[in-house]
A and B are shown apart, each in its own frame.
Chain A
Amino acid sequence: MKIKILHLFYDFLNLYGESFNSLALHNYFVNQEIEVELIKHNLEMDLDIENVDVLYVGAGEESKLEIAFNYLKKYQTKLKNFKKTIICTGNATILFSKNYLNIQNYEIVRNQTRIVKEEVLKFKNQSLIGFYNTYDLIKSDQTNLFLNKDNKYVSYNNDNFYAIEMIGPFLVRNYFFLKFVADKVILNKKSDYLIKEINFEYEKNALTAFLKNYYSIEN
């Protein structure tokens, strides 16, 4: 089995450490002893998603997102028919929204002021940490991914599509969400694949210490 990750606009939408999200996926698959290829896509390449299993795109500056959108327009049908995993973080969530490519059932509402905040969220009863730095928030009946402190769902999931509003190395810092997504990718590809337990000691310790130090939460 071979898994192909395509990091869309790798060197263009690369605001703050988001390249580590595709690397986290890559490393997880390697640790599962799966052959993996990470394609670092750039604006001057064609978009070939024929055999791609995971498509990741990170946050960027607002003007760059428009350029990215103009680029993706010609692949709209292809992307609409792409049923494998898509993960977008930060304001890159706008690309697949009704506002832009219109291939998912959510829209982006642009705030007048920038939203800069850190939040402890819940995913399957586990605490995770997310950092917002955006004008854009997801509006949909299906905002169903993470539960925030007000007991409201934020971000968006539809089958294999994940629109995560937070920026930065989200998958690195939230290892159990990484595991959840990555295991699904593997099992979608080969339903009888025997998932191995991966040592997440550093990830666990970092998250535990962060939640304890800054939020007095015992994870």
Chain B
Amino acid sequence: MNLLLILFAKLLILIGKKLKRGSSLPGKIIYKINKNIFKYFKFKNTKLIGVTGSSGKGSSSYLIVQILRDLNYKVGYNDSGSNLSYAILTTIIDNCDIFGNSKVDYFVFEMDERFSIFVFKDLIFDQILITNITKDQPPRQYNPETVINILNKGLKNQNNLIINANDPIMQHFTFNKNVTYYDIKDKNISYQTQIFNNSYTNYHNEEKIKYHHYYFENTGDYYCEKNNFKTPKSDISATLIDYEKLEILVNGINFKLAYPMLFDVYNTLSVISLFYALNFNLKTISNSMKKRYIDKKIYNSFIENNRKVVVINNKNENSGSFNQAMLYLARQQEQKILVVGWKEISRRYEFNDMSWLYDVEFEIIKNVEKVYCVGIDAYDIALRMKYAGFKNIIISQDLKNAVQKLKNDNLNIYAVLNFDYILPFNKYMEENYEN
């Protein structure tokens, strides 16, 4: 029976590939027929790697796959756009023979943090990387505690975790687990007083968490005086971060960054830690990472009319992701123009929750000459900017018009845009593109 199901699913996958339409449909159909189908597969010489978390799981899992493939390993990866269990099942079927034997060296699964429980109950992973749990998509995730509780249930029978030691929230997952920790130990990029006033989780067992220093929101070197709760000792540490050279020094070895932003430091560290846990030589990983390149859909920097234009992709409804851009912008000291906007808040829901925008700490950006608020919610963005204290606020519900106006300004531009505005913005800015 299972053999026939797998054959059928493989046929569907083949048709999908011919039509250039990768989808999770084959996995969905097979799972509906046999809910125990995951148990059919054998991963004798295959390692299973799961990557989950509120943000960074796509970038981290992609980097893991790039490195493994660069090192000539065969990898199964759910890169067809879905990170739910059906897509994972489809990926497994595609990379196993009809008897369920894995044909790859590694499976790397990017998993939705709330729905990973459906995969965890059927598969035992060799390594699970949890990037972070932050305030994210309030209508869907409700709140971080909900996600933490669900994820924890799924992790019950799992083995080694890869965890950010700087993040106290991650300690929710470590009970009774083998853990590989990573952290930053470079005070040059830290700050002493909390600047992200709406960060999540300030307490541990009703005691306010204190910090020797912060790196971002509630990540940093933390401790509690009454509870025995502090930054755990790390296996992998970044001791020097050089955003100019796009390099970090980790356990004495230089690694290349793709972006001059903290989220990339943590993503890179998490990937290095994963390979450390898998007993890879870190120099080999460092060499492989030299081939990293900038994905211009995430971060793009160019010169237009003798001024710098930086375009950063933020993730709507995730203030943590947005705040990474704010942290980067806080480092840019010059007089500047800020552009914030999106085509739509979310494609998932019929409603348009705006509350997350108030957890974004625009207040930490200095020397903003003008703010352009762009898109359908330009007026709501403008209201938030008023509260941030910006004086010169320009509102345009039309992106093209906004870009035309921007071209009459001569200051450096920093555009923090949702993914749906990245390509149109770059396209409209293309004239006078020099670099």
Interface residues of A (CB under 8 A from B): 11-12, 14-20, 23, 27, 42-44, 61-64, 67, 114, 116-118, 131, 133, 167-169, 172-173, 202-203, 205-206, 208-210, 213-214
CB contacts (< 8 Å) of B146 on chain A: these are 61
Q: Is the CB of B355 within 8 A of A17?
A: yes
Measured between alpha carbons, how far is A157 from B206 in the docked complex, in Å? 31
The 6 A-B pairs of least Cβ separation, nearest first, read A17-B358, A168-B355, A118-B351, A16-B355, A61-B145, A209-B379
B358 touches A20 (CB 8 A): yes
- Most chain A CB within 10 A, of B142, B354, B377, B397, is at B354
Contact between B355 and A14 (Cβ–Cβ < 8 Å)?
no
Residue of A nearest to B376 (CB): A213
Out of B138, B202, B383, name the residue touching A173 (CB < 8 Å): B383
CA distance A209 to B197 in the complex (A): 28
Considering the complex, give the chain A residue whose CB is closest to the CB of B350: A118
B387 touches A23 (CB 8 A): yes
Q: Which residue of B lies closest to A61 (CB)?
A: B145
Pick the contact of B354 from A11, A15, A168, A208 — CB < 8 Å?
A168
Q: Are A16 and B383 in contact (CB under 8 A)?
A: no
* Contact status of A202 and B382, CB under 8 A, knowing A20-B387, A44-B208: yes
A43 touches B206 (CB 8 A): yes
Chain B residues with CB under 8 Å of A167's CB are 138, 355
Q: Would you give the 0/1 interface string for B375-412, flagging 1 where the beta carbon is closer than 8 Å to chain A?
A: 01111101100110000010101000000000000000
- Is the CB–CB distance between A17 and B208 below 8 Å? no
Q: For B376, list chain A residues within 8 Å (CB).
A: 213
Complex contacts, B379 vs chain A, CB 8 Å: 202, 205-206, 208-210
How far apart sit A46 and B203, CA to CA, in the bound complex (Å)?
17
Q: How many residues of B contact A (CB 8 A)?
A: 37
Chain B residues, CB < 8 A from A61? 143-146
Which chain A residues lie closer than 8 Å to B382 at the CB level?
Answer: 202, 205-206
A64 to B, closest residue via Cβ: B145
A59 nearest in chain B by CB position? B143
Q: Is B352 an interface residue (CB 8 A)?
A: yes
| A62/B386 contact (C-beta < 8 A), A16-B135, A16-B355 known | no
Q: Provide the residues of chain A in CB contact with B144, threshold 8 Å.
A: 61
Q: Which residue on chain B has the smallest CB distance to residue A133? A: B138
Chain B residues 262-293 with CB under 8 Å of chain A are: none
- Whether B380 contacts A169 by the Cβ 8 Å rule is no
- A14 in contact with B198 given A23-B387, A43-B206 (CB within 8 Å): yes
Cβ contacts under 8 Å, A209 to chain B: 377-380, 397
- Chain A nearest Cβ from B62, distance in angstroms: 29
**A17 touches which one: B206, B207, B357 (CB < 8 A)?**
B357
CA distance A202 to B358 in the complex (A): 15
Q: Kindly supply a per-residue 1/0 record for chain B positions 185-201, scoring 1 wherever the CB is within 8 Å of any chain A CB and 0 otherwise.
A: 00000000000011010
| Nearest CB of chain B from residue A118's CB, rounded to whole Å | 3
Q: Which of B331-358 contact A (CB under 8 A)?
A: 351-358
Is B113 located at the chain interface by the 8 A CB criterion? Answer: no
User: Are A172 and B383 CB-contacts (below 8 A) given A12-B203, A43-B206, A63-B145?
Assistant: yes
Q: List 13 A-B contacts (CB under 8 A).
A: A12-B202, A12-B203, A15-B138, A16-B138, A16-B353, A16-B359, A17-B357, A67-B206, A114-B142, A131-B351, A168-B354, A202-B386, A213-B377
User: Complex formed: what's the CA distance from A208 to B382 in Å?
Assistant: 13
Asked if residues A133 and B142 are in contact (CB atoms below 8 Å), the reply is yes
Complex Cα distance, B138 from A206, in Å, reads 21
Which residue, B139, B200, B355, B380, has most C-beta atoms of chain A within 10 A?
B355
> Contacts A15-B143, A63-B145, A133-B138 known; A202 to B383 CB distance under 8 Å?
yes
12 more A-B residue pairs beyond the given contacts A61-B146, A202-B393, with a C-beta to C-beta distance below 8 A: A20-B358, A23-B387, A43-B203, A61-B145, A167-B138, A169-B354, A172-B383, A202-B382, A203-B383, A205-B395, A209-B397, A210-B377
Contact call A17/B383, Cβ cutoff below 8 A: no
Instruction: For B353, list chain A residues within 8 Å (CB).
Output: 16, 118, 131, 133, 168
Q: Which residues of B contact A118 (CB under 8 A)?
A: 351-353
A44 to B351, CA, bound (A): 37
Q: Enumerate chain A residues within 8 angstroms of B206, measured Cβ to Cβ.
A: 43, 67
Q: In the complex, what distance in Å separates the CA atom of A112 from the CA atom of B197?
A: 32
